[in-house]
Amino acid sequence: MSSLSPRVVVVSRRSELDELLARHGTRGAAGYFLKQRGRDLDEVTARHEALRSALVEVGGAVPADWRRGHVERTDLPRFLFAPEDIVVAVGQDGLVANVAKYLDGQPVIGVDPEPGRNAGVLVRHPAAAVGGLLRGGFRAQGRTMVVARLDDGQELSGLNEIYIGHAGHQSARYVIAAPDGSRERQSSSGLIVGTGTGATGWCASIARERAGAPPLPGPGEAVLCWFVREAWPSPATGVRHVAGLLAPGRELELTSESERLVVFADGLESDALELSWGQRVRVSVADRKLHLV
């Protein structure tokens, strides 16, 4: 058993104000940029201060004898999480999804710095609740994840969904093998495979516009939903296999017939795998889950 004290790793992303200052240099220039677009610097500043205050409150809630860490969203691919870590994601719901793929059993406390503004599906706690959760214990809920495995051994997992297609979302050509083993050559703007958590986001928007869409799974169900986007019917490409459900133990396989298709999870395009012509990727329910507090 490890003698190390727990480490609380706070995950955040730069505020919009931080990004504006990095781009424009000064508050005056940032304010002018926003004004030209009908927006107000005061509103952006208020949101920045809300995030900063939440981060300060979370930091103050960590017991003095515990270890601490902090990582920004853009640095997640290079950060090494330890088994004893407790992760506190401070930001929007998407931040929890961004960090999930880098974890293996560590609990995640999602903190909403602006209660009432975000949906609060994954960031379910105010900053003031973190101290009680850390000191008094908590129960984590298992959330199903999706994994994509390339034929060269690389793999990528996600909490919401995995996208396979061109980086620019233009037409991608491939052969899809449905869970029943039937195959079809397709040309489309990409394939989305989502979890019950992701079924409230990208997959939900596709399903609303898709006649005969399958019932979307719940966040705890070990079932995935999948959709082909804008499949193109032609003498060489079909549209029979464009949506369905994927149960545990079943796989959806795609063989690339384009160069440089990408596979990325939860919108984090900077951490993508690449498929060359003839390479295969298989997508299925992941063996591990996110443990959400």
CB atoms within 10 A of CB 257: 16
Top-confidence residue, 237 or 199:
237
- Reading the block at residue 247, the tokens are 């149960």
pLDDT range class, residue 3, cuts 50, 70, 90: low
pLDDT range class, residue 200, cuts 50, 70, 90: confident
pLDDT of amino acid 1: 45
Question: With pLDDT > 90 as the criterion, what percentage of the chain qualifies?
Answer: 80
Query: Is the pLDDT at 84 greater than 80, yes or no?
Result: yes
Query: Is the pLDDT at 247 greater than 70, yes or no?
Result: yes
DSSP letter at 26 equals: S
How far is 181 from 269, CA to CA, in rounded Å?
A: 30
Query: Is the pLDDT at 57 greater than 90, yes or no?
Result: yes
Question: How is 110-128 classified by DSSP, letter by letter?
Answer: EE-SSTTTS--SS--B-GG
What pTM does this model have?
A: 0.86
Q: Tell me if 104 sits within 8 A of 87, measured CB to CB.
A: no
Residue 41 CA to its chain's centroid (Å):
29
The predicted model gives 150-176 an average pLDDT of 93
Q: Tell me if 129 sits within 8 A of 246, measured CB to CB.
A: no
Tens digits of residue pLDDT in 95-109: 999 999 899 999 999
For the ranges 36-40, 67-71, 207-211, 229-233, which has the lowest average pLDDT?
207-211
Half-sphere exposure of 243 (CA within 13 A, CB side): 16
